[in-house]
């Protein structure tokens, strides 16, 4: 029996090193208070969502909402360039690609990561929570309004210098 416990502990320790890769349901099931992992851990989760799930060709953003030590919501940005497409489907080109951030939304009807995260969490789970945004240097006025209406107490953005990162990302595309 002692051998089993040692194996389980080692297995958990190995997996914990990669905890940012764990899905939210598993993190919540374990009862781990994820806030003790710190902001970087939560930003890593948001970044992972952006990289793996965002369908926007211009910019990949991801969001995690945390409340009472648990991830209660997550979201990523999705585009829908018009009729015949559903949000979340991959697209071949972006009509907004060469426009500054925050412009040309009439060309593509995006769902922003912040809104998707609030929808996935439900307003009742957002009150007093913290939103972690990765992939952009600000929350637009519409997203910030929705997030505040839902009761999110704080919006955290990973990198205060993300504007420079964003500009470099756009130059590479």
Q: What is the pLDDT of residue 40?
A: 86
Query: pTM value?
Result: 0.72
pLDDT 10s digits, 1-39: 444 545 544 554 554 445 555 566 665 555 556 666 788
Instruction: Establish if 120 belongs to a structural domain.
Output: yes
Averaged pLDDT for residues 138-144: 87
Q: What is the pLDDT of residues 77-91, one digit of tens each?
A: 887 655 555 655 677
**Between 3 and 62, residue with greater pLDDT:** 62
Q: What is the pLDDT of residues 87-110, one digit of tens each?
A: 556 777 777 778 877 787 777 777
Inside any domain, residue 149: yes
Burial class (CB in 10 A: 0-12, 13-18, 19+), 65: buried
Band (139; pLDDT cuts 50, 70, 90): confident
Q: Is 58 part of a structural domain of the chain?
A: yes
The C-alpha angle 28, 30, 32, rounded to 5 degrees, equals 75
Determine, yes or no, domain membership for 14.
Answer: no
What is the extent of the structural domain holding 155?
A: 39-172
Residue 138 lies in a domain: yes
Q: Is 95 helix (H, G, I), strand (E, B) or coil?
A: coil
Here the CATH number for the domain that contains residue 62 is 3.40.140.10
Q: Which helix (H) or strand (E) holds 154?
A: strand 154-157
Q: How many domains does the chain have?
A: 1
| Cβ contacts of 83-87, under 8 Å, gap ≥ 24 | 87/55, 87/111
| 31: in domain | no
């Amino acid at each position: 029996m002692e051998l089993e416990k040692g194996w389980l502990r080692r297995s958990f320790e190995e997996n914990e090193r990669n905890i940012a890769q764990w899905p939210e349901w598993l993190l919540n099931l374990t009862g781990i208070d994820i806030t003790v992992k710190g902001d970087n851990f939560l930003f890593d989760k948001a970044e992972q969502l952006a990289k793996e799930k965002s369908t926007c060709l211009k910019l990949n953003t991801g969001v995690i909402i945390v409340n009472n030590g648990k991830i209660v919501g997550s979201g990523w940005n999705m585009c829908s360039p018009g009729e015949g497409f559903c949000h979340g489907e991959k697209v071949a080109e972006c009509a907004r690609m060469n426009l500054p951030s925050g412009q040309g939304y009439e060309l593509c009807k995006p769902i922003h990561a912040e809104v998707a995260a609030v929808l996935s969490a439900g307003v009742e789970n957002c009150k007093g929570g913290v939103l972690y945004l990765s992939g952009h240097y600000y929350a637009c006025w519409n997203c910030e309004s929705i997030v505040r209406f839902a009761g999110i107490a704080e919006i955290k953005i990973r990198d205060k210098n993300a504007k420079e990162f964003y500009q470099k990302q756009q130059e590479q595309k």
